[in-house]
Amino acid sequence: MATKTSRASKAPGYKCAECGWTTVKWVGRCGECQAWGTVEETGTAVARTTAATTVVEPARPIAEVDATTAAFMPTGMDELDRVLGGGLVPGAVILLAGEPGVGKSTLLLDVAAKFARTAQDVLYVTGEESAAQVKLRAERIDAVAESLYLSAETDLGQALGQVEKIEPRLLIVDSVQTLSSADVDGSAGGVSQVREVAASIIAAAKRRNMTTLLVGHVTKDGSIAGPRLLEHLVDVVCQFEGERHSRLRLLRAVKNRYGPTDDVGCFDLNENGIEGLADPSGLFVSRTKDPVSGTCITVTMEGRRPLLAEVQSLLAESPNSQPRRATSGLDSSRVSMLLAVLQQRAGTLLHKDDSYVATVGGVKLSEPATDLAVALAVASAKARKPLPVRLIAFGEVGLAGEVRPVPGINQRIQEAHRLGFTHAVVPASHTGPGPVPAGFSVREVSHLTEALSLLIG
């Protein structure tokens, strides 16, 4: 029988404490994560495998592999299933990252309870809270189930022992940065510890065909904390986003081995827990009985999902020589550019007015397709003339005042029609807007002045 031999030696080296990048000489800046002052001297182990071992399980033709063992299991939350591509896959390891307080623990506790109510054993390992604290939150959001087990552990060996004893179908670790291994030097959350914890949990998940959900911390710039190796090892990486003062939460898949990464799940975080929003557009549109100048409805695409949002603008004569430009939910530099285009290309004088441009409901609009709606809202506020009711507008506006086509024109129109809108101002394109619903009017424009003359005069 062939034996496995290896040769290892210790050589002086340097490693980044943030991402684990290694180099043979010291440098002041990490070549991977570009952080300053994080490269420290360490011993780099160099190993080489020289012989193969006996094959325990021979390779099989792909046609003979049973794929039914990796079928999707619904989580009970349609919005989460949408992002994951259909549900949870046995043996899959999913990393959920987000800002503190965004609702990651609440979401996973709700998922754990729904999964446990299907007579499946679920183990929830918490390293940040006690079991009693988790129980209080579970009672508040109605997430108590017989098959849901809680374990407050920070030791990796103890957590794996709980897995051996309970043998759950679903494992939730909150969070991966709080566990540590006694066999590895360093404190919990360090590069070496996170690498060891993640590798051990992933190995257990694959061996037991156990679905695993890991909670990950994020750095101050929004990226996932720890080594990038963590993102490469897991099967799915999801980002949970939302403003602290808003109820809306968005879930995006950054990496997904089992489905698309261009879909978005919408959730409502309230005092009773977290709920999926199949139709979240109502959160971003104001409910006013009479038309008001300075408002315009647009349709933005979050992944493959169209969402209606309202842009509001207010202009006031400035007492200062330098007018104020304030924005909320929009890119301030892009709004300043649109104000300049309105003045230079459309003759809308704004150099003496303070401008305030914001979105409704705390939604953030970063897509260039919202340019036309912002421009129309500002022009409507300047003319003090409201836009027609049941109207939407979208399109990218260039520095020359041209309105450029955007992707998903027909999909945006269909969504607006479904929600009761009857008119749309869209960019002119060589392919046209596509099939238009009955009773829906579409006006194509190629320049900003066409849209202004059509709607405001």
pLDDT in tens, 311-328: 999 999 999 889 999 999
22 confidence band (pLDDT: 50, 70, 90): confident
Mean pLDDT throughout 281-310?
Answer: 85
Query: What integer pLDDT is reported at residue 277 of this predicted model?
Result: 86
What percent of the chain has pLDDT above 70? 94
Query: What integer pLDDT is reported at residue 8 of this predicted model?
Result: 43
Q: Which domain holds residue 360?
A: 283-455
The last residue of a domain, from among 278, 305, 328: 278
Q: 36 lies in a domain? A: yes
| Residue 163 and residue 93 share a domain | yes
Distances 265 to 77, 82, 240, 268, 397 between C-alpha atoms, Å: 10, 7, 9, 10, 29
- Three-class SS of residue 195? helix
The last residue of a domain, from among 278, 305, 320: 278
Residue 182, pLDDT > 50, answer: yes
Query: What integer pLDDT is reported at residue 228 of this predicted model?
Result: 75
Tell me the CATH number at 274: 3.40.50.300
Report pLDDT digits (tens) over 398-457: 999 999 999 999 999 999 999 899 999 999 988 888 899 999 999 999 999 999 998 876
Tokens coding 203:
């190995």
Residue 37 gets which letter from DSSP? S
Query: What integer pLDDT is reported at residue 341 of this predicted model?
Result: 97
Query: What integer pLDDT is reported at residue 45 of this predicted model?
Result: 47
State the distance between the two ends of the chain, measured CA to CA, in whole angstroms. 88
Cα–Cα dist 317/384, whole Å = 13
| Residue 336 and residue 291 share a domain | yes
| Residue 318 and residue 266 share a domain | no
Q: 142 lies in a domain? A: yes
Q: Which of 265, 297, 301 has its CA nearest to residue 410?
A: 301
| Residue 416 and residue 288 share a domain | yes
Cα–Cα dist 307/315, whole Å = 26
CA dihedral 102, 108, 110, 111 (to 10 degrees): 140
Query: What integer pLDDT is reported at residue 437 of this predicted model?
Result: 93
Query: What integer pLDDT is reported at residue 6 of this predicted model?
Result: 42
Distances 313 to 67, 360, 383 between C-alpha atoms, Å: 54, 11, 12
Cα–Cα dist 236/67, whole Å = 19
Cα–Cα dist 149/407, whole Å = 46
Q: 8 lies in a domain? A: no
Tell me the CATH number at 391: 3.30.230.10
Query: What integer pLDDT is reported at residue 47 of this predicted model?
Result: 55
Q: Which of 229, 274, 262, 221 has its CA nearest to residue 95?
A: 229
Q: Do residues 198 and 177 touch, judged by C-beta distance below 8 A?
A: no
Q: 50 lies in a domain? A: no
| Residue 374 and residue 244 share a domain | no
| Residue 305 and residue 215 share a domain | no
108 confidence band (pLDDT: 50, 70, 90): very high
Cα–Cα dist 98/204, whole Å = 25
Residue 44, pLDDT > 70, answer: no
Whole-angstrom Cα Rg for the chain = 27
- Three-class SS of residue 65? coil
The last residue of a domain, from among 217, 244, 278: 278
Cα–Cα dist 386/141, whole Å = 43
In sequence order, the β-bridge partners of residue 276 are 267
Q: 291 lies in a domain? A: yes
Cα–Cα dist 143/76, whole Å = 12
| Residue 450 and residue 335 share a domain | yes
Residue 9, pLDDT > 60, answer: no
Q: Which residue has the higher pLDDT, 185 or 386?
A: 386
| Residue 307 and residue 268 share a domain | no
Q: Do residues 237 and 231 touch, judged by C-beta distance below 8 A?
A: yes
337 confidence band (pLDDT: 50, 70, 90): very high
Report pLDDT digits (tens) over 133-144: 999 999 999 999
Mean pLDDT throughout 37-59?
Answer: 71
CA dihedral 368, 329, 239, 116 (to 10 degrees): -120
Cα–Cα dist 154/143, whole Å = 23
* Region class of 154: left (phi > 0), else alpha (psi between -120 and 50), else beta: alpha
Q: State the pairing for strand pair 6-16/22-23.
A: antiparallel
Report pLDDT digits (tens) over 60-95: 898 888 877 778 999 989 999 999 988 999 999 999
Query: What integer pLDDT is reported at residue 21 of this predicted model?
Result: 84
Residue 2, pLDDT > 80, answer: no
Cα–Cα dist 63/52, whole Å = 26
Mean pLDDT throughout 370-394?
Answer: 95
| Residue 158 and residue 38 share a domain | no
Q: 62 lies in a domain? A: no
49 confidence band (pLDDT: 50, 70, 90): low
| Residue 300 and residue 386 share a domain | yes
Residue 50, pLDDT > 80, answer: no
48 confidence band (pLDDT: 50, 70, 90): low
219 confidence band (pLDDT: 50, 70, 90): confident
Residue 39, pLDDT > 90, answer: no
332: preceding bond cis by omega (within 30 degrees):
no
Query: What integer pLDDT is reported at residue 65 of this predicted model?
Result: 83
- When mean pLDDT is compared across 171-180, 240-249, 402-411, 432-441, the lowest value belongs to 240-249
| Residue 311 and residue 213 share a domain | no
Query: What integer pLDDT is reported at residue 178 of this predicted model?
Result: 93
Number of domain units in the chain: 3
Q: 2 lies in a domain? A: no
Task: Using the Cα atoms of residue 102, residue 280, residue 87 and residue 145 in order, give the sign of their dihedral.
Answer: positive
Query: What integer pLDDT is reported at residue 32 of this predicted model?
Result: 84
Q: 3 lies in a domain? A: no
* Residue 429 CB contacts under 8 Å (≥ 6 apart), including other chains: 405, 409, 444
| Residue 39 and residue 77 share a domain | no
